[in-house]
């Protein structure tokens, strides 16, 4: 028995210290493995987020939701994926082919690459960028391209209207999101996501910056085109909006991209305001639970509110949406930036001084 254990230990030791890992191919293999370790659970989470959405909304409307495929309908997302995979991809005759096919890929890829900087625990991050939050902001502001490109390339009026709505909406809400991020940054003194989480060790930022937390959450709803701001897809007036002409895998990529960016926004909210992987209080029963599980729980809580909002509120009218973004959120968040900066300066709390 002991010799067997020695044999295993020897192999593991050889494997870990293998010179192959120092070569370019080895480094590349490690990076690919790390990326897969993030993306595989993410795609699974996306699949079950769609299931959760149908179940939660079903429960709120006193229905059962999916309950036929598998136990409690648990295999429903897989059945849906298989169905979409085997459908025919239709390219409309008048469409601009290259952009038409590229648009869903852009949406999907952008929703994926944001996860490169998300810290799942202390040191558990693919790339610990100095400008992590700026990278996330850049990625989320690019999300609009998938929508615009698809709307234009479809060469059809409803997708085009959806794309125009989406472009105006996302650009408007990015402004207030930027100010919210600045408020958090002046409290932290760093753009690094790990630093932002560590700065919340004593108190989560959702407590002192509660109004900003609310604004940020509503802006993320608008940024991901979720209801009550889902005007770009507005079924009742523009059929399905920007992805009207899409079918099969191209449609599935839009769907996956949208849900993955919802999760990304949830992760961003958790990191900025809910203390990332930190437990609520650093005492015995809470800090036994590992960080990634706290992080997962916080994202799940954010997602539940996303679904709750969808089941509760009617869709905004477009002029009201613009009014809320430009005339309410923008001045308020600007005021709050000034207030926070003034407060930190007056009480000598400015970080890094």
Binding site for another protein (CB under 8 A): 24, 99, 129-131, 134-135, 137-138, 141-142, 144-145, 148-149, 152, 160, 163-164, 167-168, 170-171, 174, 190-191, 319-320, 323
> CB-wise, 1 or 93, nearer to another protein?
93
* Distance in Å, CB of 78 to another protein, minimum: 35
* Distance in Å, CB of 131 to another protein, minimum: 5
> CB-wise, 206 or 215, nearer to another protein?
215
Q: Are 225 and 142 in contact, with CB atoms under 8 Å apart?
A: no
> CB-wise, 74 or 134, nearer to another protein?
134
Peptide bond between residue 346 and the one before it cis (omega within 30 degrees of 0): no
* Distance in Å, CB of 51 to another protein, minimum: 32
* Distance in Å, CB of 284 to another protein, minimum: 37
Rg of the chain over Cα atoms, rounded to whole angstroms, equals 22
* Distance in Å, CB of 258 to another protein, minimum: 18
> CB-wise, 53 or 195, nearer to another protein?
195
* Per-residue tokens: 133: 């939050």
> CB-wise, 190 or 287, nearer to another protein?
190
Q: Are 146 and 106 in contact, with CB atoms under 8 Å apart?
A: yes
Q: What is the dihedral sign for C-alpha 212, 217, 220, 221?
A: negative
Buried residues in 261-291 as b, exposed as e (16+ CB within 10 A): bbbbbbbbbbbbbbbbbbbeeeeeeeeeeeb
Q: Using CA atoms, how far apart are residues 304 and 262, in angstroms rounded to an integer?
A: 11
Q: Using CA atoms, how far apart are residues 258 and 154, in angstroms rounded to an integer?
A: 19
* Distance in Å, CB of 161 to another protein, minimum: 11
Q: Using CA atoms, how far apart are residues 223 and 230, in angstroms rounded to an integer?
A: 10
> CB-wise, 137 or 306, nearer to another protein?
137
Q: Using CA atoms, how far apart are residues 192 and 123, in angstroms rounded to an integer?
A: 12
* Distance in Å, CB of 174 to another protein, minimum: 7
* Per-residue tokens: 328: 């309410």
> What is the distance in angstroms between the CA of the first residue and the CA of the last residue of the chain?
59
> CB-wise, 163 or 278, nearer to another protein?
163
Phi, psi angles (nearest 5°) of residue 148: -65, -45
> CB-wise, 152 or 251, nearer to another protein?
152
Q: Which residues, in sequence order, are CB contacts of 65 under 8 Å at separation 6+?
A: 54, 55, 56, 57, 58, 59, 73
* Distance in Å, CB of 148 to another protein, minimum: 6
Cα 66 versus chain centre, distance: 24
* Distance in Å, CB of 142 to another protein, minimum: 6
> CB-wise, 46 or 149, nearer to another protein?
149
């Amino acid at each position: 028995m002991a010799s067997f254990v020695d044999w295993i230990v020897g192999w593991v030791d050889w494997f870990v210290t293998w010179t192959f890992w120092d070569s370019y191919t080895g480094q590349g293999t490690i990076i690919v493995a790390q990326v897969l370790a993030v993306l595989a659970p993410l795609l699974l989470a996306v699949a079950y987020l769609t299931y959760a959405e149908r179940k939660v909304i079903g429960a709120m409307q006193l229905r059962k939701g999916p309950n036929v495929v598998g136990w409690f309908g648990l295999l429903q997302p897989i059945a849906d994926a298989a169905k979409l995979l085997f459908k025919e991809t239709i390219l409309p005759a008048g469409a601009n082919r290259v952009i038409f096919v590229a648009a869903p890929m852009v949406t999907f890829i952008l929703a994926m690459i944001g996860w490169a900087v998300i810290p799942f625990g202390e040191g558990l991050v693919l790339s610990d960028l100095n400008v992590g939050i700026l990278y996330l902001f850049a990625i989320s502001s690019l999300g609009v391209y998938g929508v615009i490109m698809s709307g234009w390339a479809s060469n059809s009026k409803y997708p085009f209207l959806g794309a125009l709505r989406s472009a105006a909406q996302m650009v408007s809400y990015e402004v207030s999101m930027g100010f919210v991020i600045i408020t958090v940054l002046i409290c932290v003194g760093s753009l690094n996501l790990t630093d932002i989480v560590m700065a919340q060790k004593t108190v989560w930022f959702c407590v002192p910056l509660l109004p900003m937390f609310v604004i940020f959450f509503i802006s993320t709803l608008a940024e991901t085109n979720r209801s009550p701001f889902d005007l770009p897809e507005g079924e009742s007036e523009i059929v399905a909006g920007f992805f009207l002409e899409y079918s099969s895998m191209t449609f599935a990529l839009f769907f996956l991209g949208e849900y993955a960016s919802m999760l990304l926004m949830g992760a961003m909210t958790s990191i900025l305001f809910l203390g990332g992987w930190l437990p609520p209080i650093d005492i015995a029963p809470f800090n036994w639970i590992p960080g990634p599980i706290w992080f997962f729980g916080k994202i799940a809580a954010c997602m539940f509110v996303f679904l709750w909002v969808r089941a509760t509120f009617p869709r905004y009218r477009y002029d009201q949406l613009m009014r809320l973004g430009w005339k309410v959120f923008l001045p308020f968040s600007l005021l709050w930036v000034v207030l926070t900066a003034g407060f930190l300066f007056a009480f000598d709390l400015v970080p890094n001084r």
